[in-house]
Amino acid sequence: MAKEPSFTCTACNAATTKWSGRCDTCDAWNTIEEVKPLSNGPKSKKSIGSGRGKQITLTDLATLEPEPPRTLSGVGELDRTLGGGLVKASAILVGGDPGIGKSTLLLQAAARFARNGLKVLYVSGEESAAQIQMRARRLGLTESPVKLASETNLRDILTTLEAEKPDFVIIDSIQTMWLDTVEAAPGSVSQVRSAAHELTTFAKTNGIAVVLVGHVTKDGQIAGPRVVEHMVDTVLYFEGERGHQFRILRAVKNRFGPADEIGVFEMTGKGLAEVKNPSAMFLSERGDPAPGSVVFAGIEGSRPMLCEFQALVAPSPHSQPRRTVVGWDGSRLAMILAVLESRAGVPFTGLDVYLNVAGGLRVTEPAADLAVAAALISAREDAALPKDCVVFGEISLSGGLRPAPQTENRLKEASKLGFTSAITPVRAKRGGVSGVELREMNTLLHFVEQVFGER
């Protein structure tokens, strides 16, 4: 009896037995693709269990190295995001929007690693070797000992890797690779999954560090089955707005270092340059105090970082007011607006609300709640906060304020950049940073009354 076909959603990896236009699990459209079997399986039931497999080698835990050896690239922001450098026999997945600078970053990283003694191979399935050489010439990397290849057949690539025995390989991109043993088009679920599995296995067994470049969907997620993210050791997202020259490399998964670590780069005419003081960079274009502008002292990975929240509140000409957010969670904005109206008596009915994080940064931590509330009230009341003040803290649904972790590190970063006051929730453990005046609040209503006057 022929096996029934199976289908998988490329957005959420949900399985189904039939094709449909919309996924029942994540409601995404046109993401259901047929999954071809990777092999025909055993020919008969008699062959199952009739033989024995190869004995595997066991290693004593006491003989293992306490820390995997790392190779530094010399680019501090890249090494920070990787968790302290490149780990041998690791698989790294890098995703980002088209044209954001993934290939530029990886070509620069390949050149740095090659100069540090690694044997590096750059394989492109989207560009010819001549096109890569043109980019290398523009970036001033023509003297770097990086070997280039242009190929999409994975069998030929693996054969070359076995012969060359490189230390570091870049595959650009995983969606263009194809296996002749899988009956599916390049970029399909089966091909992407099989190619990623082959490359990851090859990296582990041969001690080669492999970087896979992945395309992203319109939602910002890496295209293809989500199982690819589970196969690799590290998942990096390259973020940034095209209107800004700043780019952020964010680690969302890392088996060899902290997750949510970020590296900040600036796009220049000669490639990507690392930014060693991101807080000063994100606040460099901040002018005089203006209504709706609030500086937030946040934590990205292991580093404190200051950024600016900008809010605009205006009467809505429509029956349904608009809520537009860039760089923050839209659902959390709706929650903050509801708490402000219910617990602090600050209504936003009939008002359009626009919220933006300056510089193209994306903030995810809950400690930004109080800074967002301050920006919204400041824009609504047309009252600016002092220029030398930072705000951070989490807001609960009851209207209470919860202290943020690593308060001292946030205050130290603010003091280093010249800020002299901070508005924070009340903490059980007292203490601060010299030169920074603390204004502690216990509830959202107390904050509104103390900062903007009684309602």
Strand partners, 121: 147, 169
Which superfamily does 70-276 belong to? P-loop containing nucleotide triphosphate hydrolases (3.40.50.300)
Residue 324 Ramachandran class (φ > 0 left, ψ -120 to 50 alpha, else beta): beta
Predicted confidence (pLDDT) at residue 330 exceeds the cutoff of 60: yes
Entry pTM: 0.78
Predicted confidence (pLDDT) at residue 4 exceeds the cutoff of 70: no
69-109 pLDDT tens trace? 789 988 889 999 999 999 999 999 999 888 888 999 999 99
Identify the CA nearest to 367 among candidates 345, 341, 395, 388. Answer: 395
Per the model's pLDDT, the better-predicted residue between 359 and 307 turns out to be 307
Instruction: Find the angle CA(307)-CA(98)-CA(279) to the nearest 5 degrees.
Output: 15
Which pLDDT belongs to residue 45? 45
Instruction: Find the angle CA(211)-CA(216)-CA(219) to the nearest 5 degrees.
Output: 145
| Secondary structure, 3-state, the chain | CCCCCEEEECCCCCEECCCCCECCCCCCECCEEEECCCCCCCCCHHHCCCCCCCCCCCCCHHHCCCCCCEECCCCHHHHHHCCCCEECCCEEEEEECCCCCHHHHHHHHHHHHHHCCCCEEEEECCCCHHHHHHHHHHHCCCCCCEEEEECCEHHHHHHHHHHHCCCEEEEECHHHCECCCCCCCCCCHHHHHHHHHHHHHHHHHHCCEEEEEECECCCCCECCCCHHHHHCCEEEEEECCCCCCEEEEEEEEECCCCCCCEEEEEEECCEEEECCCHHHHHCCCCCCCCCCEEEEEEEECCEEEEEEEEEEEEECCCCCCCEEEECCCHHHHHHHHHHHHHHCCCCCCCEEEEEEEHHHCCCCCHHHHHHHHHHHHHHHHCCCCCCCEEECCEECCCCEEECCCCHHHHHHHHHHCCCCEEEEECCCCCCCCCCCEEEEECEHHHHHHHHHCCC
Which pLDDT belongs to residue 220? 62
Provide the 10 A C-beta neighbour count for residue 105: 24
Identify the CA nearest to 408 among candidates 301, 297, 307, 308. Answer: 297
Average pLDDT over residues 304-320: 93
Average pLDDT over residues 406-414: 92
Alpha-carbon separation of residue 302 from 7, 62, 94, 305, 406 (angstroms):
41, 30, 20, 10, 10
Handedness of CA 299, 303, 304, 305 (dihedral sign): negative
Per the model's pLDDT, the better-predicted residue between 268 and 54 turns out to be 268
Which pLDDT belongs to residue 181? 87
Which pLDDT belongs to residue 60? 77
Exposed, middle or buried: residue 449 (CB in 10 Å: 0-12, 13-18, 19+)? Answer: middle
Whole-number Å distance between alpha carbons of 283 and 366: 21
Which pLDDT belongs to residue 31? 80
Q: Among 3.40.50.2000, 3.30.70.1450, 1.10.530.10, 3.30.230.10, name the CATH number for the domain at 281-452.
A: 3.30.230.10
Above pLDDT 90, what percent of the chain? Answer: 58
Which pLDDT belongs to residue 9? 81
Residues flagged as binding site for ATP: 96-103
234-247 pLDDT tens trace? 999 998 876 678 89
* 412-436 as b/e: b if 16+ CB within 10 A: bbbbeeebebbbbbbeeeeebbeeb
Residues flagged as binding site: 96-103
Highest-confidence range of 44-58, 283-297, 371-385, by mean pLDDT? 371-385
| Residue 41 pLDDT grade (very low, low, confident, very high; cuts 50, 70, 90) | very low
Identify the CA nearest to 209 among candidates 233, 175, 235. Answer: 233
| Residue 292 pLDDT grade (very low, low, confident, very high; cuts 50, 70, 90) | very high
